[in-house]
């Protein structure tokens, strides 16, 4: 059965909140992030700034070079969370099946909704209208038979747009779709696809699934189905967090791993606090799968090293999460391995834990 999925994506959310609250910011290039003389990156930018090539996740120093008259202000997450709460409460008026992706983005399954005689298009329009009335912010919406297409659709007519892909239109829409439009395909993956002549979904369809998997690994299977407009993922209402982590960006690149490791002590306290907050909200049913360390080097290349210890170690740790000597030594060992793989000055260090995910299929039994 075809589902009715809506993807709502707020338009330059953080910047939009600031422009709403301060009219002086509305007609100038604006970005949210840290100062350009720091190692900070941008959270987002308004559409005026985007005309100069300013984008989210861009270093503030680079953004200023692209747009010298750019105004950068620090984020106010308390204010953004208040607006997000109003928006997500609007979603709940139409369906209980909501999958939040962030403060400003969510999937909604309205397949069985009785509002507007079950019209997903009219529901999306009403959600956009209510968001604007109650927050004075605009949202873009995509309506489609699955999550993959709904996400693409929400970006099709930004800002403040609505784009609908009906089941009958899926094939005609997907065939000429540039592979760069597929969520999850970044610059590196797109470049590799282009090298093989796979510039759009129609050309991807000419390859069988075995060939795609051989060359592109797990991404190959995803490409096979998405190039045909197929996505069987359900909208998942419950939280299924995969990891909990903290990071620190150095003001200056660090060339000595021992100095990097010294910063881990501060990160450990922050990680403990985040884990405990997660447990207070979601309980302790999950388990730790492994610990990991991430290093981002001077050239922005990232190395992540993760390693599993015996199950009993993580079980005891999870129910009284704290950094004992053994875990501290474990994390330091991972940091040293990560550094050896890069062996150049470090820009950022992060530590965290992976959470055990649901297992599909039979479980491997231990031999005793």
Q: Would you state the structure tokens that stand for residue 177, as one six-digit string?
A: 């779709």
- Residues 91-128 as b or e (16 or more Cβ within 10 Å = b): beebbebbbbeebbbbbbbbbebeeeeeebbebbebbb
Q: What is d(CA 211, CA 96) in angstroms, rounded to the nearest whole number?
A: 40
Classified as helix, coil or strand, 51 is coil
- Active site residue ranges: 105
Spatial separation of the C-alpha atoms in residues 116 and 55, rounded to whole Å: 37
Distance CA 236, CA 357 (A): 14
- Start-to-end C-alpha separation, the chain: 46
Biggest distance spanned by C-alpha atoms of the chain: 70
- The residues, any chain, with a CB within 8 Å of residue 334's CB and separated by 6 or more, are 291, 292, 293, 305, 306, 307
């Amino acid at each position: 059965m075809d589902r009715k999925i809506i993807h709502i994506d707020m338009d330059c959310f953080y910047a939009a909140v600031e422009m709403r609250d301060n009219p002086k910011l509305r007609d100038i290039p604006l970005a949210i992030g840290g100062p350009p003389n720091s190692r900070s990156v941008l959270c987002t930018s308004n559409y005026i700034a985007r005309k100069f090539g300013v984008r989210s996740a861009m270093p503030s120093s680079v953004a200023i070079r692209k747009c010298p008259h750019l105004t950068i202000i620090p984020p106010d997450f308390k204010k953004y969370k208040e607006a997000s709460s109003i928006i997500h409460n609007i979603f709940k008026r139409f369906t209980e099946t909501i999958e939040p992706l962030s403060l400003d983005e969510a999937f909604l399954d309205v397949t069985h909704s009785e509002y507007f005689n079950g019209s997903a298009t009219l529901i999306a329009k009403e959600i956009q209208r209510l968001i604007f009335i109650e927050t004075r912010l605009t949202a873009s919406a995509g309506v489609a038979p699955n999550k993959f297409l709904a996400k693409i659709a929400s970006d099709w007519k930004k800002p403040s747009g609505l784009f609908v892909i009906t089941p009958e239109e899926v094939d005609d829409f997907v065939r000429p779709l540039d592979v760069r439009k597929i969520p999850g395909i970044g610059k590196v993956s797109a470049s590799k696809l282009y090298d093989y002549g796979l510039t759009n979904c129609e050309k991807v369809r000419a390859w069988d699934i075995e060939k795609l998997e051989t060359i592109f690994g797990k991404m190959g299977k995803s490409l096979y189905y998405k190039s045909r407009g197929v996505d069987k993922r359900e909208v998942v209402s419950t939280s299924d967090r995969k990891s909990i982590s903290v990071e620190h960006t150095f003001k200056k690149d660090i060339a000595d791993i021992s100095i990097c490791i010294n910063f881990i002590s501060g990160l450990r306290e922050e990680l403990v606090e985040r884990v405990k907050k997660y447990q207070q909200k979601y309980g302790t049913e999950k388990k730790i799968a492994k610990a990991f360390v991430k290093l981002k080097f001077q050239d922005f290349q990232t190395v992540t090293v993760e390693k599993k210890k015996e199950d009993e170690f993580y079980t005891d740790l999870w129910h009284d999460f704290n950094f004992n000597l053994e875990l501290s030594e474990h994390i330091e060992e991972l940091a040293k391995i990560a550094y050896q793989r890069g062996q150049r000055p470090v820009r950022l260090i992060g530590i965290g834990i992976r959470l055990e995910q649901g297992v599909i299929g039979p479980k491997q039994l231990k031999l005793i």
